[in-house]
């Protein structure tokens, strides 16, 4: 099965050019990241996360849902292939908010390399709270602007470290190399993160969506709006109904019609302090 490119482009609101150029890539990534939210409702509900193109389209295009890195970037890669881009899947070790400094995490994140006129670019629609909203040159030690924060790559032997600039400091997102990954590689890692009893994707809710001038994030029942001018507003949600309202509103999700959802959302409410 191949992607329904017209339906995908309609979903992300792209009515512009379709030539495999850098301008097209920028427009596609901006539309995708601002339209299809990062979310992990399937693992939270103990539902399978399927990575075949048919399932991804039914969920994220026709179904109005979002997804996490494998779903986001595999769907995006199918669309970019259909537009004529040269796309390679990569894998990364997540460093963001690492529980133990210096620990070596597994390769549980997916990103894409896109080559345009023999120049390599990095594209990642699925890092949640700090998803880069613009393509980045595969070039180390250079600050690069996106529609949101600035990013840079640090070279470390045969690997790169992706960093983002928050206020005046740099924070590492993940470490990766350029070894190509195939769908079976992602299916194995996806099964681990979506089913392991200690996985953060199984035990809590994580939702994120960038919008012009800001980023929305939801961690369990803590809702945060990060403004690009540096201001941040947080509030705690007190009910499953409040969480639902945000998921449909700020995160633009079509929620699954199942009683399991409200039960899962009620379990997220933090005890009163």
The DSSP call for residue 174 is E
Distance CA 137, CA 115 (A): 10
Find the catalytic residue in 14, 69, 78, 226. 69
Backbone dihedral region for residue 216 (phi beyond 0: left; psi -120 to 50: alpha; all else: beta) = beta
Active site residue 69: yes
For 89, other C-beta atoms within 10 Å of its C-beta total 19
Q: Where are the beta strands (DSSP E) in the chain?
A: 38-39, 86-94, 107-116, 119-123, 136-137, 151-156, 159-166, 169-176, 206-211, 214-219, 222-227, 232-236
User: Which of these is catalytic: 14, 32, 78, 124?
Assistant: 124
Catalytic residue among 14, 32, 78, 109: 109
Integer Cα distance of 189 and 27 in angstroms: 29
23 is catalytic: no
Write out the catalytic residue numbers. 69, 109, 124
């Amino acid at each position: 099965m191949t992607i329904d490119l017209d339906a995908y482009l309609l979903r992300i609101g792209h009515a512009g050019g379709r030539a495999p150029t850098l301008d097209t890539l920028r427009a596609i990534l901006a539309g995708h990241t601002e339209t299809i939210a990062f979310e992990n409702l399937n693992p939270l509900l103990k539902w399978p996360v399927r990575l075949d193109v048919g399932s991804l389209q039914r969920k994220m295009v026709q179904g109005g849902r979002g997804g996490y890195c494998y779903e986001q970037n595999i769907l995006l890669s199918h669309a970019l292939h259909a537009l004529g881009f040269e796309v390679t899947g990569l894998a990364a070790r997540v460093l963001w908010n690492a529980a133990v400094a210096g620990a070596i995490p597994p390769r549980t994140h997916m990103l894409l390399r896109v080559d345009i006129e023999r120049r390599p670019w990095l594209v990642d629609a699925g890092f949640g709270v700090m998803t880069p909203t613009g393509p980045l040159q595969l070039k180390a030690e250079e600050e690069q602007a996106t529609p949101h924060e600035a990013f840079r790559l640090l070279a470390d032997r045969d690997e790169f470290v992706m960093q983002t600039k928050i206020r005046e400091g740099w924070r590492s997102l993940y470490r990766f190399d350029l070894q190509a990954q195939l769908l079976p590689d992602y299916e194995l890692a996806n099964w681990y993160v979506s089913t392991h009893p200690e996985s953060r994707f199984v035990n809590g809710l994580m939702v994120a969506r960038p919008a012009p001038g800001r980023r929305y994030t939801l961690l369990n029942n803590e809702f945060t709006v990060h403004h690009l001018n540096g201001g941040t507003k947080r509030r705690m949600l007190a009910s499953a109904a409040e969480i639902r309202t945000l998921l449909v509103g700020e995160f633009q999700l079509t929620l699954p019609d199942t009683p399991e959802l409200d039960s899962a959302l009620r379990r997220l409410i933090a005890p009163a302090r």
